[in-house]
Every structure is written in C-alpha cells, then in structure tokens.
Structure 1
Amino acid sequence: MIEKLREEIDVIERHLKILKIIVNDGPIGIIKLSEITGFPPHKVRYSLRVLENHNLISPSSNGAVATEGTEEFINEFKNILKEIVKKLENLENALD
C-alpha cells in the first residue's frame, strides 16, 4: 500500500521537474531534458506525453513549450499539495 503511494509520488515529482524546466527553459527537447534531469529518455518521453495529454505543454519544432494554462495549474497544484500535507500530518498525529 505505502510502496504504491511512494511510486506515484516519484512519478508526479518527475513530471513536475520536467514541467518546471520547460516553463523556465523551453522550448526544449527530450535529449536536453534527459541530460539536465538525469532521467532516461524513455521516462522523459513518457512524462512529456502525460503533460501534453493534460494540456500543460505543447510540441514545437524546437521542443516542448508550456501552454497558457500551465501557470494556473502550478498555482492550483501548490494549493492541493498544502491540503495533502495537512491530511498527512493528521494521519501522522493519529498514529501517536
């Protein structure tokens, strides 16, 4: 149960690291993203596909670029993370 949660968090973390690089340095391609992050190209490619499916990036001839909705998503995601942290703290306190 816990291992699955940990794996999901790792995947989301990878997606967000790649998204942040695209926001700051885009357009940027798979090879450069792989070099910067240390993630293998196939994992970068998967993350790009997920991000594109969620309309957070779009392809260009020079590599991936952020979409207009990306900044709003990042702000919303930060708020969701705060809620999750509170829930995790409540879980931890329940174990005391």
Structure 2
Amino acid sequence: MIDRLEKEVDMLERHLQVLRMVIENEPIGIVKMSNETGYPHHKVRYSLRVLEEENLIEPSSQGAITTDRTVEFVDELDDKLDEIIDKIGGMRIDNAPEVEN
C-alpha cells in the first residue's frame, strides 16, 4: 500500500520536473530533457503525454511549450501540495488515539 503511494509520488515528482524544464526552457524536446534529467526517453515521453492531457503543455515543431493553463496550475500548486502534506501527516499512527488491549 505504501509502496504504491511512494511510486505515485516519484512519478508526480518526475512530471513536475519535466513541467519545470518546459517552463524554463521552452521549447524543449525529449532528448534534451532526458539528457539533462537522466530519465530515460520513454519516461520523459510519458510525463509529456500526461502534462499534455492536463493541458499544461502542448507540442510544437521545436518541442514542448507551455499553455495558458500552465500559469494557473503553477499558482495553485503550492497550496494543493500543502493540503496533501497536511492530509498525509494526519494519517500518522502516532497521531491516532491510544488503542487499548
């Protein structure tokens, strides 16, 4: 159960790193992103596909570029991450009431 969550967080981290690269270097292609991040091409391509499905980037003849939605997403990102962190912190067993045996 926790392993799956950790894999999802790792994947989200990769997606956000790819998005950050597009924001900072647009237009940028898969090969350059792969070389700079160390992620294999297929993982960069998957992250780009996810970001495109979320309308955060779009393809161009020179590489991936941001969309109008990107700024809104970035502006909301820190608040969303804080909410998730708070929720996960509340799941800690040491925060739960004592269990009597």
Same fold per superposition (TM over 0.5): yes
State the superposition RMSD in angstroms. Answer: 1.3
TM-score of the superposed pair, with normalisation by structure 2:
0.89
Q: CA deviation at 1:87?
A: 1.5
- State the partner residue of 2:53: 53
Counterpart of 2:69 in structure 1: which amino acid? Answer: G
Inter-partner Cα distance in structure 2 for 1:9 and 1:75: 20
Show the 5 A alignment for 1:15-54: 15-54=15-54
| Structure 1 residues not aligned, in runs of 5+ | none
Q: CA deviation at 1:46?
A: 0.6
Inter-partner Cα distance in structure 1 for 2:50 and 2:83: 23
Q: CA deviation at 1:95?
A: 5.0
SS at match of 2:58: strand
TM-score of the superposed pair, with normalisation by structure 1:
0.93
Percent identity, aligned pairs only, is 49
Bigger radius of gyration, 1 or 2? Answer: 2
Inter-partner Cα distance in structure 1 for 2:46 and 2:87: 29
Counterpart of 2:50 in structure 1: which amino acid? Answer: V
